[in-house]
Each structure stands twice: as structure tokens, then as C-alpha cells.
Amino acid sequence: MATPGSDARETWPLWEVFVRANRGLSHVHAGSLHAPDAEMALRNARDLYTRRGEGTSIWVVPADAITTSDPDAKGAFFESPAGKNYRHAVYYTASEGVPHL
């Protein structure tokens, strides 16, 4: 917890906030905040990111718990291995007798 006179951002962990506007929709990243624990992060996220009552669900995740891929390595990370194009839908052709594909 922050001591008097210290900056909370230096001692409190960073939390990423995801909000779902309506049932059936995906959670969307709304922003980040600093909080001492998950409960406080959830309360602060509610106050900051759903002021107009637009949210139905909020997720708060410690920022250091998120692992990401490197955007600069996009090609190597997302390319199909040689000879394994069958893993992508564009490899297959639709049969003429199958409607609604």
C-alpha cells in the first residue's frame, strides 16, 4: 500500500480493465488503472469505465499476468508451417451441392 506522500503508481500494481457492454458481446479493453488489490481494481474500474451504466460485466487482470506476442514478429508467428496450408479455411473449396457456405 502507498505510504503518505508516495506515488501510488510506484507501489500499486497495474491492472488492465475489460468491459462487456451487453450480454452476448465480447469484453473489450477499456483501459488500465493502478490499485492495491483485485477488489479495489474492480471497484475503481466500475467507477471509471461504466459511469453511464453501459457495462454488464467487468474483468480486471494484473498487467504482469498478460503474455503477448511480438508485433514485429507477426510474419513468423502467424504463418502456417511449410506444407500445412490445410490448417486454414481458404485451402478448401466449397462443394457446389452445399448451400449456405
Q: What are the φ/ψ torsions at residue 30 (nearest 5 degrees)?
A: -105, -25
- At 8, is the pLDDT very low, low, confident or very high (cuts 50, 70, 90)? low
Q: Read off the pTM.
A: 0.67
- At 3, is the pLDDT very low, low, confident or very high (cuts 50, 70, 90)? low
pLDDT of the residue at 60: 98
CATH superfamily name and code, 14-91: Phenylacetic acid degradation B (3.10.20.520)
pLDDT of the residue at 6: 60
29-45 pLDDT, tens digit per residue, is 999 999 999 999 999 99
19-77 pLDDT, tens digit per residue, is 999 888 999 999 999 999 999 999 999 999 998 878 899 999 999 999 998 888 887 77
What residues have CB less than 8 Å from 35, skipping those under 6 apart? Answer: 12, 13, 15, 41, 44, 60
Largest CA distance in the chain: 73
List the one residue out of 61, 65, 67, 52 whose CA is nearest residue 27: 61
Query: Domain segments of the chain: what residues?
Result: 14-91
Distance CA 17, CA 28 (A): 8
